[in-house]
Amino acid sequence: MRKVSLGRFASASASVLSLSLLISACASNNSKADPTLPASSVAPSATEQASTASEIPTKEMTIKFDPQGYLPRESTTKDPAVHKVMQELADEYTKLKPNIKIEFVEVTAPDRKAWLQARMLSKDAPDIFWTNFEETWTNYQKGWFLQMDPWLNKPNPYNDNQIWKDTFVPGIIDAVRAPDGSAYTIPGDGVAIGIYYNKTIFDKLSLTVPTTWTEFIEVQEKIKASGVIPMAFSTESASSGPWSDTIMHSEFMLDKITDRDTSGNGRLEPNELVKAIKEGKFPLKEVVNQEYSLMKEWSQYWPKGFNAQIDEEQMFESGKAAMWMAGNAYSDYLNKSDFGFDYGVFSFPAITQDVAPAASGQAAKIYGPWGPAQWLVPGYLNQEDPDKVAAIIDFLMFLSSPDHMTRISAEGLTIPNIVGAVTPKGQEPFVNDIPLTIMQGYHAILDAPFKDKMKAAIQFYLNGDWTIDKFSDEVMKYYTEAADRMAEANPDWLK
């Protein structure tokens, strides 16, 4: 059986990391260039160089473009999907700008991080390339990426001359900002997570979609009593545990981030978290206790042996489990398959204060700019070929018009991040008015040693080897140790 997940757009490790990262629906005014950045990465000011159609250089040039999951190709036995929209758009663009040629570049390197470092050091990266935006958070100081804010403040001639940044859905540009407050990524599309459920099982048991934690547990109790596993879940999974922690911790912290969110963009970034930990403002022990007490309550509805590796997808598709957390692209796979049941999707329920006094009482969902349309430009081009930079930006403005992003997202089954673009059919359940998660899950919130210790601690606790007090004491220690390591590596984070 073909495995389909959001990893179809990225390497497995990168996509899992990305899908646990967060965006905010709050807008930020921090769009100034950082004067401490290497000059090669800072784009011209609004008075220096414009990216309007009339000022694009007329000399012949080739833009090398790594479109990642949108690389034009024919159907293959591995993936029958035909990818053609980027070639179509490139052809349409070159008709408008005959002096520009778009050359597609396929990146086959298994390790994108190593590839990125090698390309930047040798200064031979594609002119537009894909990488998960969090890579800019640890590499922006090196001048690897073009700073996009000055360009985002310019009009987009392909979208009624609206200021480019204003054409993106609220909060999405802030979502990709690096710790210096600058945006280095153009986030064209996004992906989301939901809880898929077997409608046949729900209808047979006369169940309705839960919206609160209490209803969520009640539904699972009835499913369990019927002899069906309520939730396909494994703590060894790279998705279920981290995604659940991302959502649950965010639901507890939605109303508590004001004095920790130093950038004011409505989300907690690594530098802000390290500073908050060092100042004793994070994590809150009562939040750790209450979140994981709920997690343990929930675990009675997972499969036996949930601390081992389990094929959660197969368990859901076979009807052995009634629910499973997965990405929005999975819906297309279900639509094209016949597993003998109808399905639905709902958002993770709200943890209300009657079951957890420290909770915010609001639901939260994972949604963010982690699709194939994450576009970056090498920082060194700004000095070496500023004319090409202007042409590249013009092409990106062309791609990010509502009509073009509608076509791009329809092919990739992603959610367009452009106002006025149409969400692909079948993806509507993921576009709802629920607050977005504001922080990363345990596997991406700090560093790798923290992730490993947290995963082991969660398994000890859920298995009954540790009490909740033992668990929370250890977790508080892990946070402190990780903050010490990261502060030593990034001393400016404490300023």
Q: Are residues 142 and 71 in the same domain?
A: yes
- Shared domain for 307 and 346, answered yes or no, is yes
Query: Which sign does the torsion angle of CA 205, 209, 211, 213 carry?
Result: positive
Q: What is the pLDDT along the chain (495 residues), one digit of tens a residue?
A: 333 333 333 333 334 344 443 333 333 333 333 333 344 455 444 333 334 444 677 899 999 999 999 999 998 777 777 899 999 999 999 999 999 999 999 999 999 989 999 999 999 999 999 998 888 888 998 999 999 999 999 999 999 999 999 999 988 998 898 888 899 999 999 999 999 999 999 999 999 999 999 999 999 999 999 999 999 999 999 999 999 999 999 999 999 999 999 888 788 888 899 999 999 999 999 999 999 999 999 999 999 999 999 999 999 999 999 999 999 989 988 988 999 999 999 999 999 999 999 999 999 999 888 899 999 999 999 999 999 999 999 999 999 999 999 999 999 989 999 999 999 988 888 888 888 899 989 998 899 999 999 999 999 999 999 999 999 999 999 999 999 999 999 898 898
Place of tokens 């001048």: 143
Cα–Cα–Cα angle for 29, 366, 180, rounded to 5 degrees: 30
Taking the alpha carbons at both ends of the chain, their separation in whole angstroms is 52
pTM as predicted: 0.80
Would residue 2 count as lying in a domain? no
Main-chain phi, psi angles of 128, to 5 degrees: -130, 125
Domain co-membership, 204 together with 155: no
DSSP state of 475: H
What pLDDT score was predicted for residue 67? 97
**C-alpha to C-alpha distance for 142 and 41, rounded to whole angstroms:** 9
In angstroms, the CA 98 to CA 124 distance is 24
* 327 & 471 share domain: yes
Does 408 map to a domain? no
* In a domain? residue 98: yes
Q: 76 and 134, same structural domain?
A: yes
- In the prediction, which pLDDT does 55 show? 63
Q: How far, rounded to the nearest angstrom, does the alpha carbon of residue 217 sit from its chain's CA centroid?
A: 27
Residues 470 and 483 in one domain: yes
Q: Does 292 fall in a domain?
A: yes
Task: Mention every residue, 6+ apart, whose C-beta is less than 8 A from residue 447.
Answer: 482, 485, 486
Query: Residues 107, 97: contact at Cβ < 8 Å?
Result: no
Q: How many CB atoms lie within 10 A of CB 320?
A: 13
Q: Is 8 among the domain residues?
A: no
Residue 33 φ then ψ, to 5°: -70, 145
What is the extent of the structural domain holding 231?
A: 194-366+436-494
Pairing of strands 155-156, 162-163: antiparallel
Q: Are residues 168 and 122 in the same domain?
A: yes
Strand blocks (E) in 95-150 = 100-104
130 and 91 in a common domain: yes
CATH number for 171: 3.40.190.10
Residue 331 token pair: 């819906």
Let me know if residue 159 belongs to a domain.
Answer: yes
The predicted pLDDT at position 23 comes to 36
- 270 shares a domain with 236: yes
Residue at 103 is within a domain:
yes
Q: What phi and psi, each to the nearest 5 degrees, are found at residue 344?
A: -140, 175
Is the domain of 170 the same as that of 214? no
Residue-wise burial string across 229-247, b where 16 or more C-beta atoms lie within 10 A, e elsewhere:
bbbbbbbebbbbbbbbbbb
CB 133 within 8 A of CB 174: no
- What DSSP element (H or E) covers 195? strand 189-198
Q: Tell me how many domains the chain contains.
A: 2
What's the confidence (pLDDT) of residue 219? Answer: 98
Whole-number pLDDT of residue 29:
34
Written as one letter, the residue type at 141 is Q
318 and 464 assigned to the same domain: yes
3-state secondary structure of 145: strand
Structural domain contains residue 11 = no
Residues 6 or more apart from 458 whose CB is under 8 A from it?
235, 241, 292, 295, 442, 471
Q: Could you give phi then psi for residue 156, rounded to 5 degrees? A: -95, 110
Q: Do 107 and 216 belong together in one domain?
A: no
